[in-house]
Amino acid sequence: MDKFLLLLLLLGVFPLVIFRAQATVCMVCNLFKRGYCLTGKGNCTMKQGPGCRTRNFFIFTERDGWLYNHTELDCSHYCTATHMYYLSLKISTYCCKGQDFCNRDQGKIVK
Ligand SMILES: *[C@@H]1O[C@H](CO)[C@@H](O)[C@H](O)[C@H]1NC(C)=O
Ligand SMILES: *[C@@H]1O[C@H](CO)[C@@H](O)[C@H](O)[C@H]1NC(C)=O
């Protein structure tokens, strides 16, 4: 009987532990530049999947081509690494998980 109770307890507790271990705290920022958050700083938590998102914004100019403008950090349930072009705007998206605030590091890449 004791073993049975112990088993029940383990079954109940282990999924919780694993569930918690997978959660990643991501940085949220509306305007991130050179490693600093200028506006809209916060955090969000992703419980599963590569949901910490980094979006680097580039603007096209006739003279200099694609120039880095700023970075936005948040959580996304459907995060996929992409390079999207909207006329003279380019948005490069990166996703990460497993390390708290991992999306902050990709925002440091200036190019
Ligand atoms: C996330 O933000 C809240 C306030 O919005 C703060 O209390 C908490 O400490 C932050 N979590 C981490 C891990 O920084
Ligand atoms: C470029 O960055 C500035 C802040 O330095 C921001 O106000 C502006 O909205 C950004 N432009 C685009 C197209 O995202």
Q: Would residue 12 count as lying in a domain?
A: no
25-54: average pLDDT: 93
Q: Would residue 95 count as lying in a domain?
A: yes
Q: Would residue 79 count as lying in a domain?
A: yes
Domain count, the chain: 1
97 Cβ inside 6 Å of ligand 2 = no
Q: Which ligand has the nearest atom to the CA of 42?
A: 1
Reported as a pLDDT band with limits 50, 70 and 90, residue 111 is: very low
Q: Would residue 5 count as lying in a domain?
A: no
**Residue 80 lies in domain:** 24-111
Tokens 């680097």 -> residue:
56
Reported as a pLDDT band with limits 50, 70 and 90, residue 13 is: low
Q: Would residue 74 count as lying in a domain?
A: yes
Q: Which atom of ligand 1 is nearest to the CA of 25?
A: 13
Answering whether pTM is above 0.75, one says: yes
For ligand 1, atom 13, name the residue with the nearest CA: 25
Q: Which ligand has the nearest atom to the CA of 32?
A: 2
3-state helix, strand, coil split of the chain in percent (to 5) is 25, 50, 30
Are 43 and 51 within 8 A, CB to CB?
A: no
Q: Residue type at 94?
A: Y
Q: Would residue 19 count as lying in a domain?
A: no
Q: In this predicted model, what pLDDT tens digit does every residue of 43-62 receive, in sequence order?
A: 999 988 789 999 999 999 99
